Amino acid sequence: MSRPGRNDPCWCGSERKYKKCHLLSDDAGTTAPPAPALSQRVATRPAPTKNAHLILDEAGRQGMRAAGRFNAELMDYIRPLVLPGVRTDELDRLVHEYTIDHGHIPATLGYHDFPKSCCTSVNEVVCHGIPDGQVLREGDAINVDLTTIVDGWFGDQSETILVGETTETLRNLVSETLECLHLGIAAIKPGGRIIDIGHAIARHAHAHQYSVVRDYQGHGIGRKFHQDPGVPHFPDHELGQFVVQPGMCFTIEPMINLGSHRTVLDKHDGWTVRTADGKISAQFEHTLLMTEDGPEILTLTQNGPQRGHRF
């Protein structure tokens, strides 16, 4: 990827000038590239915007497809390595090395001082878990969230992976969370409204007596990580009026809880989000391109769970 001029926008999507963002670290060879958070806070309400700048031309669509393909390849690589006895920071090391070895950028590393190359959220951690010395145990559930910058385009996805043998209760939660994702994808059409996604997800989750996290949401994506539209996973009548047009990319990433939808943010690290009641949460995420014929999943894996899979 060619370097921008000193006064051009930085390659990382921060909207700061290159000289005030990554110029010095790039010169020193110590860049820790910023990346997207796994999901935006719903409390952050985007201002009304004209949508033309969000619509990708064919070159942009191909760029997003390439980013999604690599991110899916990375997920297929790391999934079988999620085993009892493995530390979450070892998974992070493997993600980092695989990404760099293929000439791409692990997007979360350095984003607002996030210290790792992926997010690992175990059991009651809803999202943004920081890989560390935690050892995975038989029966755990871990959401692995991967984001990669490929030639300036962002690919983003996550899966909840069951560690060894676990309970029927947990298997059902994870299975229905995957179904929530695919129902959300199926609900949105060219010219449709974001609220259609939230209706489909909440209807299915509530039918199974689960709750839908409201504090965090999906987001538009492209050369910038967070942009319009915000994608709540419940029927939000404010953000939900956004109309999705062909050429727009966005994520759907429902977080579904066994207990209350309420969450708490870790005051120590400023990142880790847990369920307020300590009950388990699950999540799946895909990056999507809206085409003239409907949503195209850009982060579809070859070996991972597809719609209808039962864990």
**pLDDT given at position 8:** 65
Q: Domain ranges in the chain?
A: 57-297
Torsion of CA 207, 208, 209, 214, to 10 degrees: -80
The helix (H) or strand (E) run that includes residue 145 is: strand 141-150
pLDDT in tens, 58-112: 999 999 999 999 999 999 999 999 999 999 999 999 999 999 999 999 999 998 8
**pLDDT given at position 3:** 61
**pLDDT given at position 214:** 98
**pLDDT given at position 175:** 98
From residue 258, give the alpha-carbon distance in Å to each of 172, 174, 195: 10, 10, 23
Which of 242, 231, 227, 241 shows the shortest CA–CA distance to 64?
227
Which of 62, 145, 141, 69 shows the shortest CA–CA distance to 104?
69
**pLDDT given at position 11:** 55
**pLDDT given at position 244:** 97
pLDDT by residue, tens only, the chain of 311 residues: 456 666 666 655 545 555 555 555 455 443 433 333 445 554 333 334 457 779 999 999 999 999 999 999 999 999 999 999 999 999 999 999 999 999 999 999 998 899 999 999 999 999 999 999 999 999 999 999 999 999 999 999 999 999 999 999 999 999 999 999 999 999 999 999 999 999 999 999 999 999 999 999 999 999 988 899 999 999 999 999 999 999 999 999 999 999 999 999 999 999 999 999 999 999 999 999 999 999 999 999 999 999 999 99
Please answer whether residues 139 and 145 qualify as being in contact, where contact means their C-beta atoms are separated by less than 8 angstroms.
no
**pLDDT given at position 76:** 98
The model's pTM is 0.85
Q: Which CATH architecture has domain 57-297?
A: Alpha-Beta Complex (3.90)
**pLDDT given at position 296:** 98
